[in-house]
Structure 1
Amino acid sequence: MKKLTLLFFCIGFHLPHAVAADSAVILMYHRFGETRFPSTNIRLEQLNAHINELKRGPYTVLPVAEIVSRIKSGKPLPDRTVGITVDDGFKSVYEEAWPRFERANLPFTVFISTDPLDEKRASYMTWSNVRKMKAAGVDFGAHTASHLHMTAASPAQNKAEIKKSNTRLAAELGIAPSLFAYPFGEAGTEVINTVRTGGYAFSFGQHSGVVHPKSDFNYLPRFAMNENYGNDDRFKLIINALPLPVMDFTPKDTKIGQVNPPNVGFTAAPSLKNLSSLSCYVSGEGRVPVTLLGTNRIEIRATKPFAKGRTRLNCTLLGTSGRWHWLGTQFVSLKS
């Protein structure tokens, strides 16, 4: 990753600001200044650096709902458009993140799990906090009621969670949510189909990647920010990323079945060049073998079974502009 980052800065970081684009990077945060939880926390000095970069660099930060709506409808966006999301609804969103984003005039969306607020858990925001932020222009989306593992639950359980969450958000905010984020980013064909019944316009996972017109708008990618992956170099790399559009991705279901590790493959868009330089990485294993079949069919074969829980696959390709094309997928396995 050090070589990738250095190459990025040498070739194309300070590129002219293009007039229009059809893709955007969506960021995902959880906690702010809560150093007891490094895997979901961003340190305040890191957050300040992120905000400074977004304000002084060639970026346009827009509301997430506007971004994905424009991409889906074919309306152009400014090049290097960025969206900001926050999951769960911890108190540090209200106390630390919101004041900073508000001072910087940066819009953002919070995905709320409603049970912790109803139970008045000390580490979460209150409904009064949420209403105050909503009145000031912050957007809110659904994140189920209890923040459950949806792939381990039945469709009936998931539908009940969705209904309860939607009811509570509508009662407290006066409007039904149009955006949804999967807890833990865990999904699969059955879960995605269940979430579609919730009436959401767009739904988000936690797999890395760039939103573009061919994205699955029921399972959109976001780049996760935390202490380990929130340093300045990686942040700049991410917010300058480009999509890696593919078709015929296999397996179609990201919930692992009998075949583990799964046989992953996809057909890359003809616009992508130098596919022989594509690199793919699997969490828990590192770089994995990639085979190019013909001009644009990619086959990826991990050598180790995916562990119980979440496993991420990330593929990157240096573009002709010096920016990195990025494709990510998150698999989930219920078996050890």
Structure 2
Amino acid sequence: MKRLQAITLIWAALWLGLGAQTEDTPDVLPAAQPIKNLDVPDDGVRVSVLGYHDFSETERETAMRIRTSKFRKQMEVIRQLGLSVIPMSDFIAWKNGEKSIPAKSVVITLDDGWKSVYTEAYPVLKEFGYPFTIYLYKNYVDGGGKALTTAMIKEMMANGANIGSHSTTHPFPQTVKNNRKRGAESYDKFLDVEMGESRRFLEEKFGVKVTTFAYPGGYFTEEMLSKAEQVGYTQLFTVQPGKVKRSLPNNILPRYIILGNYDKIFEFATSFRDSQSALPEGSIAGMIKELEYPVEPQPGAIINSRLPEIKVDFSKAENIDMATLRMQVAGFGEVPANYASEGKIFSWQVNRRLRQPVCNVLVSWKDLSGKETETPLRWSFQIDRGAAYLPDE
């Protein structure tokens, strides 16, 4: 958990780097006591709230931008893991003790209102039938360029999307601090604009009740907690990673911000360690990894054979000394894989039944100058548990 919290601090630093330099390092989660704790007993259910931002298949991946194909693979992994993606309305009803939900549930949120939410993420979410929540800040709606338009937002709302508030101007933490220093009265007016005006704008424009809020950058102060209750928010999300349980305060709810350039966050978010079905550490990252060369079984695939053929297609490879190819398979170590010059296929037929739920594979090599590759192929695939007990084909 300490490592995950450290990653959150790194994420905040990256986010801050997008704006003006600050004189001091802002706290990601300032010391603040929740104004109200729910008297609702823990039912054992855990919810992982995922936070995304921008999407692109062609632009460089960053903390804030994830490759569209990787996002799709992550949605597929959620399906493969048997996790239930629930709408925000079900989350709220469960949180208030009014409804039961699956023991391992996921809520998908998308911050800011980038146009790529509509062009890239929305088709994927619609394909999987996953509900989602878009956190909009007022000044970016119909902002032109890379911003979502009203028409786009309304179309998504008609097909599984819910909207929440992400403030009016999306102020950086230093801006919040500066306004706070001007005194209580001035700061209260500032918060009413950022938190109150945003909610009023969204409700009037889209004709829905807006009751959830995502703190920009995850930064909040004690005054924000009381202002949230005053203007009508019932659930507010931070960037503090962790699973939500029913008894947590509604105004400082944890959320995993999924980074485009660090897959481990997604693995933490989708691993429910208290479950016997949790996958070994590293397996989920292996499922979603983009590979340089085609492989079989494909990353994240669920196969029904305990004796698969594992192979890599090097037909488009250059500058590889094929005689140095090596394959390692979890549970077997280095295996006697064969290279077929015709077709340039490097393969190994598994000769002992795979019984673990996940199989990890590593393929490495040297280039023509004798240098070891810095980017070996690493991936994972899953074994259908039922097939593990069927007779051999």
Please give the TM-score of this superposition, normalised by the length of structure 2: 0.53
Structure 2 residue 270 is matched with structure 1 residue 239: yes
Matched-pair identity in %: 27
Aligned partners of 2:101 and 2:160: how far apart in 1?
A: 21
Query: 1:263-286 CA distances to partner (integer Å, 9 max, x unpaired)?
Result: xxxxxxxxxxxxxxxxxxxxxxxx
Contact 1:21 1:77 in 2 (8 A): no
Q: Read off the aligned partner of 1:239 and give its amino acid letter.
A: T
Which of 153, 163, 166 is equivalent to 1:130?
Answer: 153
Match of 1:156 in 2: 189
The number of residue pairs the alignment matches comes to 224
RMSD (CA atoms): 2.4
Q: Read off the aligned partner of 2:250 and give its amino acid letter.
A: F
Q: Within 5 Å, give how 1:297-336 maps onto structure 2.
A: none
Contact 2:141 2:149 in 1 (8 A): yes
Tell me the secondary structure at the aligned position of residue 261 of structure 2: coil
Match of 2:214 in 1: 181
Change beyond 3 A, Cα 1:116–1:92? same
Match of 1:22 in 2: 45
Contact 1:185 1:205 in 2 (8 A): yes
After TM superposition, the runs of 4+ consecutive aligned structure 1 residues lying more than 4 A away are none
Q: Read off the aligned partner of 1:33 and give its amino acid letter.
A: S
Aligned partners of 1:143 and 1:238: how far apart in 2?
A: 22
Contact 2:86 2:130 in 1 (8 A): yes
- Give the C-alpha shift of residue 66 in structure 1: 1.3
Match of 1:258 in 2: none
Which of 199, 220, 245 is equivalent to 1:166?
Answer: 199
Q: Read off the aligned partner of 2:52 and give its amino acid letter.
A: Y
Unpaired segments ≥5 residues, structure 2: 5-42, 180-186, 275-393
Q: Read off the aligned partner of 2:80 and give its amino acid letter.
A: R
Tell me the secondary structure at the aligned position of residue 141 of structure 2: helix
Query: 1:84-109 CA distances to partner (integer Å, 9 max, x unpaired)?
Result: 00110000000000110001001110
Match of 1:16 in 2: none
- Give the C-alpha shift of residue 196 in structure 1: 2.0
Q: Read off the aligned partner of 1:187 and give its amino acid letter.
A: F
Structure 2 residue 153 is matched with structure 1 residue 142: no
Aligned partners of 2:236 and 2:188: how far apart in 1?
A: 17
Contact 2:44 2:245 in 1 (8 A): no
Query: 1:266-319 CA distances to partner (integer Å, 9 max, x unpaired)?
Result: xxxxxxxxxxxxxxxxxxxxxxxxxxxxxxxxxxxxxxxxxxxxxxxxxxxxxx
Q: Within 5 Å, give how 1:45-124 maps onto structure 2.
A: 45-73=69-97, 75-118=99-142, 120-124=143-147
- Give the C-alpha shift of residue 242 in structure 1: 5.8
Change beyond 3 A, Cα 1:236–1:84? same
Aligned partners of 1:75 and 1:171: how far apart in 2?
A: 28
Which of 246, 252, 272 is equivalent to 1:213?
Answer: 246
Please give the TM-score of this superposition, normalised by the length of structure 1: 0.62
- Give the C-alpha shift of residue 230 in structure 1: 2.8
Which of 196, 201, 211 is equivalent to 2:229?
Answer: 196
Tell me the secondary structure at the aligned position of residue 26 of structure 1: strand
Aligned partners of 1:242 and 1:146: how far apart in 2?
A: 38
- Give the C-alpha shift of residue 75 in structure 1: 4.1
Aligned partners of 1:32 and 1:142: how far apart in 2?
A: 20
Q: Read off the aligned partner of 1:41 and give its amino acid letter.
A: R
- Give the C-alpha shift of residue 157 in structure 1: 0.4
Q: Read off the aligned partner of 2:78 and give its amino acid letter.
A: L
Query: 1:30-80 CA distances to partner (integer Å, 9 max, x unpaired)?
Result: 011174561211112220111111112221110123124303316432122
Contact 2:90 2:99 in 1 (8 A): no
Structure 2 residue 66 is matched with structure 1 residue 33: no
Contact 1:23 1:210 in 2 (8 A): yes
Contact 1:80 1:239 in 2 (8 A): no
Tell me the secondary structure at the aligned position of residue 73 of structure 1: coil
Aligned partners of 1:44 and 1:224: how far apart in 2?
A: 16
Q: Read off the aligned partner of 2:193 and give its amino acid letter.
A: A
- Give the C-alpha shift of residue 176 in structure 1: 3.0
Unpaired segments ≥5 residues, structure 1: 5-19, 244-336
Contact 1:42 1:230 in 2 (8 A): no
Contact 2:90 2:101 in 1 (8 A): no
Aligned partners of 1:144 and 1:37: how far apart in 2?
A: 26
- Give the C-alpha shift of residue 127 in structure 1: 1.0
Tell me the secondary structure at the aligned position of residue 111 of structure 1: strand
Aligned partners of 2:54 and 2:92: how far apart in 1?
A: 24
Aligned partners of 1:184 and 1:241: how far apart in 2?
A: 25
Contact 1:65 1:179 in 2 (8 A): no
Structure 2 residue 73 is matched with structure 1 residue 42: no
Q: Read off the aligned partner of 1:157 and give its amino acid letter.
A: F
Q: Read off the aligned partner of 1:65 and give its amino acid letter.
A: S
Contact 1:26 1:64 in 2 (8 A): no
